[in-house]
Amino acid sequence: MVLKTKLCCFSSSKIYPWKNIKFIRLDSQVFLFINSKCKQYVHKKLKASKHTWTTMSIVGATLEVIQKKRTKSLEVRNAARKASLCEIMERIKKMMKRRIRRQRFMSSYNKNRGSSNMSKGEYF
């Protein structure tokens, strides 16, 4: 079964036969809208090219330009992710150095403490 789809006057998206809003102006011009949002924007005389969710905003841009815009955001995310991982690894290294230093100090402290000639009951 083949369905005849029409295009929305505002967003240029496909409209199936059971999903449309029809508006007829006084000069008997017929407008088809996919939803009330598009209808309101036309009545407010707003431009479709200024809204990113419409296909009219993409008409001037080529496919390559759109793909470049999408890939830039991924590169930025990857760079930020790497930077944050480097910071985390540096913090972990500093913490490990502190732990090792403290363990060495405590081991030498305990050795020196236990080497006295006095028994546990004697203090003088």
Predicted pLDDT at 18: 87
Predicted pLDDT at 96: 93
pLDDT average per 10 residues of sequence, the chain (124 residues)? 86 88 92 92 88 75 63 68 87 93 86 64 57
> Is 8 in contact with 34 (CB distance < 8 Å)?
yes
Predicted pLDDT at 36: 93
CA distance 89 to 84: 9
CA distance 92 to 98: 10
The model's pTM is 0.45
Helices in the chain by DSSP H: which ranges? 36-43, 63-114
In 32-68, which positions are buried (b, 16+ CB within 10 angstroms) versus exposed (e)?
Answer: bbbeeebbebbeeeeebeeeeebeebeeeeeeeeeee
Predicted pLDDT at 69: 62
Predicted pLDDT at 22: 92
